[in-house]
Amino acid sequence: MPTVATKKKTTKKAKAKFSKETYLNWYEVMLRIRRFEEASLKAYSLQKIRGFLHVYIGQEAIAAGFASAMHKGDKIITAYRDHAHPLALGMHPKYVMAELYGKSTGCSKGKGGSMHMFSKELNMMGGHGIVGAQIPMGAGIAFAEKYNGTKNVCLTFMGDGAVRQGALHETFNMAMLWKLPVVFIVENNNYAMGTSVARTTNVTDLSKLGLSYDMPGESVDGMSVEAVHNAIKKAADHAREGNGPYLLDIRTYRYKGHSMSDPQKYRSKDEVKEYKDKDPLSQVLNTILEQGWLNDSDVQKIEADIKDMVEESVKFAEDSPMPDESELYTDIYSHDDYPYIMD
């Protein structure tokens, strides 16, 4: 199992920006996501996972940062690179892995697979496979929260490719008009599949996309979990106080391809290395070691515990049954007394 690279500890100890508990939580969340995704890559290569697989390796700071910034009751909705979001919210990896395997014990009963993770209990309103489809749905969820008089917000995630969808502008206009409590978050890994942001737009600062609607926005260092946490908290507080939506362009990087079929010929090895030197997992671990909060044996124990958890999840998925054929007729929208059928 690969280990997380760390830099040499410096003699001068800088003051940490957050508490020991916060950093330890971030480290464990990000490490759990990375080891889970590595295991899913292995299972896919063995043809135990079918269909598409989009892993989150490199982008873990966004998942850890949003989970620590949101309030209980807040909702999230995202696109199809969605394994990390339920893991960050506290879902046991075995239910995510079982979903990848298409098993009945998965979080979506084996009916969603890699791109459709849901959890009502965790307010995870799904991963969605249609590019940009979750953007207006996120505004709809926020509308429901405002209508019901809650103080909850909806974090609506999208990739940098999804911002080219026309529905984004329709949604931005309506969300600002009605001052909906929604935070629009672009997980900007610089490539829409294999097409760079610079090749698709004259405006590469995606935080400016809401300016024609007077929507505030900012760009965020997505390789820094501290920066992600602070930005999402600020944006969520803005929306929670009734000021309407906020747009975040969180600039991150995926270390693997868009999906398993991606040869990655559109970027250089030097570019990938440049971002691997900014690995958010290594940054957090370096802070923990510099502060003296853990020693090497403590880190090895965390590694071992997460390794065991992921292996348990793989076994759980492999041992779980496939959905029964009768499941074809469950979880389908129906309304037995639908009032508008006249015949």
pLDDT one-digit tens code per residue, 204-252: 899 999 999 999 999 999 999 999 999 999 999 999 999 999 999 999 9
Percent pLDDT > 70 in the chain is 95
Q: What is the pLDDT of residues 82-139, one digit of tens each?
A: 999 999 999 999 999 999 999 999 999 999 999 999 999 999 999 999 999 999 999 9
- CA 175/CA 64 separation, integer angstroms: 26
The residue with tokens 């958010």 is 280
CA 50 to chain centre: 21
Q: Provide the whole-model pTM.
A: 0.91
So what's the pLDDT on residue 267? 79
Is the pLDDT confidence value at 62 over 80?
yes
- CA 312/CA 325 separation, integer angstroms: 27
- Cβ neighbors of 18 (< 8 A, separation 6 or more) are 226, 229
So what's the pLDDT on residue 189? 87
So what's the pLDDT on residue 319? 98
So what's the pLDDT on residue 193? 81
Residue range 157-162: mean pLDDT, rounded: 92
Is the pLDDT confidence value at 259 over 80?
no
- CA 139/CA 133 separation, integer angstroms: 11
The single-letter code of the amino acid at 19 is S
Q: What is the pLDDT of residues 172-210, one digit of tens each?
A: 999 999 999 999 999 998 887 877 787 888 888 999 999
- Average pLDDT of the chain is 92
- CA 212/CA 219 separation, integer angstroms: 17
* Nearest C-alpha neighbor of 18 from the set 9, 27, 31, 10: 27
Q: Where are the domains of the chain?
A: 20-258+267-320
On whether the CB atoms of residues 128 and 70 are closer than 8 A, the answer is: no
CA dihedral 29, 34, 98, 66 (to 10 degrees): 40
CATH 3.20.20.100 fits 20-258+267-320, yes or no: no
Entry field: residues in the chain: 343
